Structure 1
């Protein structure tokens, strides 16, 4: 193509990116008529058409280009565009057929030893540019929630926003949007209030009854609003398309939870009283970060892996594969296989991508094990860390999938044993943290282990070992409010203790005489 034509295409692309669709159309419509089989023009024109309610025309035009192009890569590209157009038109069966076609072309490409060229990764924002890392996005969240609360609209942090606040104490710095939820009884009032507050509603290609996107006009931050409603003893959310069959719905199910008010810099805001209930339903093991998580597809609480969800998954899988991002594409194929273990297409796609990544010496992603988490908690002094401590921690870790150890304070040791430990708390905590059986260390927890404390931190089992009957009585007294199934006593390792080590030292352990005596 000529330089002039290239300039026109760049200009049209910029106009589409800035939302000037009419201006872009004035450039692309004549070019489409002049060069009807140009893929570069066709791609831009289809992108424009799907944003300007001409999606049906896109489907016809893309089918014409698909029939014309040669090679599996180009065939896959145009099958993907046809699938996207069908998806927007809510022809989910047609979308599924086109996405399946695209995957078959990509597998054929992989069989020939080829992969799509890898697109350059977008430059990650520096921390001083990232509004989620700087705290500006969080300020906007609380300001918005406080404004809604003043209007008696109980909107609260949800999904990834809630995850960051609970797990990290702040928003996830790699997040892309804010998530809030509101009961459907307050849905219209919430949406109206957001627009009154200056939030701009973003046009959505599929208009769901309980999901809406807004953009902050000054900061450019996106706000996702999710509508929830009670269903018996459950609360349901997701994507709702009234009047369509079950396969066109995405239903996510939560146990009932309560809201409470808490203070923020901008006034009172609403927050889940039991955020762990929501997070566990959504993410399963929400404490283990998973950078490849996709809320629409990965959610543990999907009622069914419906055709709607499957189309989302296939669309994103093909999109990543076409961009050469095999790791992300592999993760989507893996997630489909987790939801539908008999999905031959997803399994074969994953296998072909694994072969390609091995050939290219790329790392195959590790998806966190999809298993119920059983979190174990214990308290210990761990002074002069020795074999008995290691045996205890190994046995404690074997009780579950995660072990948290509270290394008690020097003051608590004095209260309990009448003397200071040899090592200070910070020194003892550092040694325990280095033990391979320990996942996390705490240094400030209540002496009495209550059910409320265990639930607050997601602990399932409290464990300890006792060197004497008196120590057993004391330790059971400290957890007397726990149900029996949450308590597990382990065997104490005989013949070794901190006191024993201190005596060896005092008796001159390490000297020549002590070595001879020990023999």
Structure 2
């Protein structure tokens, strides 16, 4: 019995997903001839063609479907397909024209009060399934960097990978790939070494001269390799298309930085001596997480917002809008507006999405301002957490925009006070972390608060409160190397202390006499 139309489409879709493109073409080719105006067939065939060397055939076919469909949602979809195909073919002016057309159809749709249905989000991986959470991806990163270092190739963590390692001490849980960079002088050697080590190069729709994708066949982890080169007193990266005009390039600029070798569990690896220099150039306020950040579009160090970058931004904005993810689409429109405040199309798109989000009772995203943060640091025991602790943390947080609290170890409390705290360090840290005034909690820091430590973590102010003059002298000694403007003493809350609470407990806290004291 011959397979039904729907069954053939499902089979072709499955074959494309599994990478069996020739088999999928064997199904879709005849269907395309039999049903030349079927959107279902056309979607799959165009998707297949843009993954192979038949991308040049897509525009003519997609244009026929665009002319045939009637409503604005389908018009927007096929204008997006036309734009994507032209983008891949590096006809950027034509791609831009089609993307503008798609956005105009989506805004017409929004004016009628309609939005595309929101697709269900994919299931979130459990920690055991996520190699970025389990540590397998980080192990693979250091193993790869160590092997390259042995070959004299100074490859080092970069972009989101570097961000996670510096900000969190590990890779970002929600990351999707590894990022490494290498000087262009070592580019060919690096790529050859990766393939020799078993990494498989992933075909890219646009073949950039300084950017490649690889996948690890066993773990399925993808890795982006970025080539950097010195340019005067700066370092340049991005996407390079030699032989094309400036509007076809994506150039990102960094201040000069050095690499150092450091030990890892898998051997010596290369690492930036000044990682904060790279991260600040790239992200601005890199210490404030931004889940909607898009590396290609959001980067703060773009030399200019070229046509290439604009096409990337329009492509992703339209894609999210068509999928009904208005919040994500709003973020792309907002990013375009940040890069080019005169982009009326992006501004209008953002306004229409805000109306739709409000009508649907969905939250409008809050985009971090990337402004200079004022970061406050303090140390405390926080034993038997009480009102005085809360008052102190509230006052400390009011000194700036972010508060990091070091909950000192049991051993350090013993050394300073001659007795152990009632609560263990992990318990005390958990209570402080639950306080709304603490943005971050640390448990391992140097005994003294040095200028180097403050600068390393981007702290602007060190603050404390003292119950006695002796305690004030002790705390001043800990931060003696800091300039006066970085030190801020706060008032101590009278009438309550951990020692008082301990005495009340020992004397029988449940008795009426004790409660009245």
TM-score normalised by structure 2 residue count:
0.88
Kindly state the Cα deviation for residue 513 of structure 1 after the two structures are TM-superposed: 8.3
Aligned-residue offset at 1:112? 1.3
Provide the secondary structure at the position in 1 that maps to 2:225.
strand
Partner of 2:244: 244
Check conservation: 1:383, 1:498, Cα contact below 8 A: no
Which range moves more in the overlay, 495-504 or 14-23?
Answer: 495-504
Distance in 2 (CA, whole Å) between partners of 1:440 and 1:24 is 51
Q: For each residue in 1:445-492, what CA deviation from the matched residue of structure 2 results, as whole angstroms up to 9, or x when unmatched? A: 22311122223323222223456666555444322323444x132353
User: In structure 2, what is the equivalent of residue 118 of structure 1?
Assistant: 118
Q: Any idea what SS the aligned residue of 2:372 has?
A: coil
Question: Which SS does the other structure have where 1:96 is aligned?
Answer: helix
Task: Name the residue aligned to 1:47.
Answer: 47
SS in 2 for 1:324: coil
Structure 1 residue 507: deviation in Å?
A: 11
Q: CA deviation at 1:207?
A: 1.1
Query: How far 1:55 sits from its partner (Å)?
Result: 2.6
User: Where does the alignment leave 5 or more consecutive residues of structure 2 unmatched?
Assistant: none
Q: Are the counterparts in 1 of residues 88 and 206 from structure 2 also a CA contact under 8 Å?
A: yes
Question: Residue 166 of structure 1 aligns with which residue?
Answer: 166
Tell me the equivalent position of 2:198: 198
1:388-409 C-alpha deviation (Å, 9 max, x unpaired):
6545433322222111122345
Alignment of 1:93-492 (within 5 A): 93-382=93-382, 389-409=389-409, 412=412, 416=416, 429=429, 432-465=432-465, 472-485=472-485, 487-492=486-491
| Alignment match, 1:13 | 13
C-alpha contact (below 8 Å) 1:117/1:324 kept by paired residues: yes
Q: Give the Å deviation of 1:502.
A: 7.4
Following the alignment from structure 1 to structure 2, what is the Cα–Cα distance between the partners of residues 396 and 110?
A: 46
Deviation at 1:433, TM superposition (A): 3.8
Structure 1: runs of 5+ lacking an equivalent? none
Distance 1:53 1:186 in 2: 30
Closer/same/farther in 2, CA of residues 434 and 51 from structure 1, 3 Å limit: closer
Closer/same/farther in 2, CA of residues 411 and 176 from structure 1, 3 Å limit? closer
Shift in Å, 1:333: 1.8
**RMSD in angstroms over aligned alpha carbons?**
3.2
Match of 2:57? 57
Distance 1:126 1:410 in 2: 33
Tell me the number of residue pairs that the alignment of Structure 1 and Structure 2 aligns: 515
Instruction: State the alpha-carbon separation in 1 of the partners of residues 373 and 106 from structure 2.
Output: 36
Give 1:382 shift.
4.8
Deviates more, 1:103-112 or 1:52-61: 52-61
CA distance in 2, matches of 1:424, 1:306: 55
TM-score by length of 1: 0.87
**C-alpha displacement of 1:440:** 2.3
**Once structures 1 and 2 are overlaid, which stretch shifts more, 507-516 or 95-104?**
507-516
Is 1:68 the counterpart of 2:39? The answer is: no
